[in-house]
A and B are shown apart, each in its own frame.
Chain A
Amino acid sequence: MTPTVRTFDVLVVGGGPAGMTAATTVRRHGGSVALIDENSDGGGQVYRPQPRGFAPAGKPSAEQRVGDRLRNALASSGADTFFEHKVWSVAPGFRVDAVGPHGPVALAAPRLVAATGTSERVIPFPGWTTPGVIGLAAATILLKAQRMLPGHATLVAGCGPLLIAVAAGIVKGGGRVAAVVDIASRGEWLGRLPALVSRPDLLARGMRWMATLQAAGVPILRRHAIREVRETSSGLDAVVGPVDPDGAPRSGETRSFTVDSVTVGNGLTPASDVSRVLRAKHRYECVKGGWVAETDDCGRTSVAGLYVVGDGAGIAGAAAAEHHGAVAGIAALHDLGRLDMTVFRHEAERMGAKLDRAGRFGRAMAGMMAIRAAQVAAIPRDTLVCRCEDVTCAEIEQAVDDGAREVNQVKAWTRCGMGPCQGRTCGDVVAEIVARRVGGREAAGYFTGRLPLRPVSLQAVVGDYVYADIPIPKAAPL
């Protein structure tokens, strides 16, 4: 049966800090709002709550406290929430279709706030599809929200602050970290210090993580990256080697670690599925993590009524996301004519200042996670790049050599990016491979946004129906 369409002033897709605050803000100023998220509660990745049924593990962390504050504010705001709902369609105007535990749901509003966060970028290496190799973000979810170790002995590799967060979490959880493999030099980290002191609490937490690793005797290999992971009879053999500042492999001693788990992440890319589907204008910004919707200070995009906030608008971190959501919430109401100019200006200024301050730390971290010029060139040619469709780097390069001029042609010719993940996993890397041959990321483009945003079965979309209820169209005149 076609679901009844429920109408609101504002729809919010995504229940992380940006989405939760956007919804709460709209309610606070008297608007009606629905928030949709596929997880079982608000929080997103950084403020992800403990599963229901788990007893609290000691004192709540700072992240849990912020998450609880945002969740409580949302719950008491009177916003309609649709958790455990996968959004599979967004349509202009706007309509959002989702499937949840009780079947399909259709929501409509003249304003749509996309707060869909990020995907993790992993630069492929031989063996990265081996079970036991997972993302750094995946490891944080295991540690924080499932209270599980990724393995008994883990190699932690990639870039950015998640490296030491994950490694310290593993050590504190009783696991062994074979090594931390960081593409950055110590000097690059020290260069970020001026921005990092803007959040002394987070800086201090980072120092505690480092102290934990030091006390456990965990080696930290700087300016190194994974070369290869091989499955052996005793687990996984992870080979790491030195790289130059651009991420190109350098000659020098490689080292091999026998572990049972590898967690690796090479930065975050904004999840722009919603704004791409709605055909907003996008711009490539390496330091923001990739292609992002063009937005003004309030998150307004080139599509009237569509706002993009949080890390989905460019990586700036969870603290900034919270204020970004608030700014977009008041802008959406103001644009609807529901908030007078004085209140709007006052609130926008107040939130904007907070956003600026909070963003300093996040943007410094985003800088540490940006893709480097030679990382993708270093991928061995027979390595799988598209995990969904098993497409190799060589096949992608061949397609460009055969005449494909941008990533959508490569997709059509090779099936890369055409699988169930819709290119979320490989998109940034594929574009980088193509960009090297066609003269830049702008020329290489991005995968056109396509529905469904998440794989859903036709049965789930249609829901329960009675065959006799299907309307029979009037026969065409003969």
Chain B
Amino acid sequence: MSSVAANDDDARAGAHGLRIGAAPRGRQVSFLFDGRPVTAYEGESIAGALACAGIRTLRASPRSGAPRGMFCMMGSCQECVVRIDGRIAPACQEPVREGLDVRSGTIGNGP
């Protein structure tokens, strides 16, 4: 087996700079994910903003407890379900807003 490694520094999940280009986004906002502050821009989805912040695990699966994150980005697969101010919703379909309290969507992680 040959190994074709990408640049290791770049390959580390969670590095910054996944936002493309200098074209202006919406107003800068801040929200919490499991208590940790996340900076984002209006117009972004919660899932996208979390990915840019290096946060990919959004919940644990119900049976094996394995980490899960965004997958389809169009509200179909329900893998990115989180709790947003207590309400359960897919993070890919919910826009970021200032001051949201977002928590991982693991079953039992209720308010």
Chain A interfacial positions (CB closer than 8 Å to B):
38-40, 45, 50-58, 86, 119-120, 129-135, 137-139, 141-143, 146-153, 173-174, 176, 178-179, 219, 234-236, 239, 253-261, 271, 387-390, 419-421, 424-425, 454-455, 457
Contact = CB atoms under 8 A, between A and B. Distances in A.
A174 B79 CA distance: 27
Given A387-B71, A419-B78, A425-B77, A54 B26 contact: yes
B10 A134 contact: no
Contacts of A147: 19-21, 23, 25
B74 A141 contact: yes
A152 B17 contact: yes
Nearest to A154: B6
A38 B90 CA distance: 12
Given A38-B75, A58-B23, A138-B74, A129 B5 contact: no
B101 interface: no
A424 B71 CA distance: 13
B10 A55 contact: no
B37 interface: no
B38 interface: no
Contacts of A51: 26, 42-44, 95
Contacts of B67: 130-131
Contact of A149 (B7, B13, B18, B64): B18
B32 interface: no
A83 B46 CA distance: 19
Contacts of A38: 75, 93
Contacts of A178: 4, 6
A152 B56 contact: no
Given A137-B73, A137-B74, A54 B43 contact: yes
Contact of B58 (A131, A135, A173, A424): A131
B82 interface: no
A52 B56 CA distance: 24
B72 A138 contact: yes
Q: Is the interface of A mostly helix, strand, loop or mixed?
A: loop
13 contacts: A40-B95, A50-B43, A54-B23, A54-B25, A55-B24, A146-B44, A147-B23, A219-B4, A260-B10, A260-B12, A260-B13, A389-B62, A420-B81
B6 A259 contact: yes
Contacts of A129: 61, 66, 68
A255 B43 contact: no
B102 interface: no
A388 B58 contact: no
B4 A256 contact: yes
B27 interface: yes
A394 B89 CA distance: 31
Contacts of B11: 152-153, 234-236, 258-260
A10 B104 CA distance: 40
Contacts of A130: 67
A258 B73 contact: no
A54 B6 contact: no
Nearest to B17: A152
B4 A255 contact: yes
Contact of A390 (B26, B56, B62): B62
A454 B77 CA distance: 10
Nearest to A173: B20
Q: Which 5 A-B pairs have the closest CB atoms?
A: A53-B26, A51-B43, A131-B69, A153-B6, A390-B63
Contact of B61 (A54, A137, A179, A387): A387
Contacts of B30: none
A137 B72 contact: yes
Among A55, A131, A236, A258, the one with the most B-chain Cβ atoms within 10 Å of its Cβ is A131
A328 B15 CA distance: 48
Contacts of A179: 4
A134 B45 CA distance: 16
A234 B13 CA distance: 8
Contacts of B87: 457
A150 B92 CA distance: 13
A235 B73 contact: no
A134 B75 CA distance: 13
Contacts of B71: 133-135, 138, 387, 425
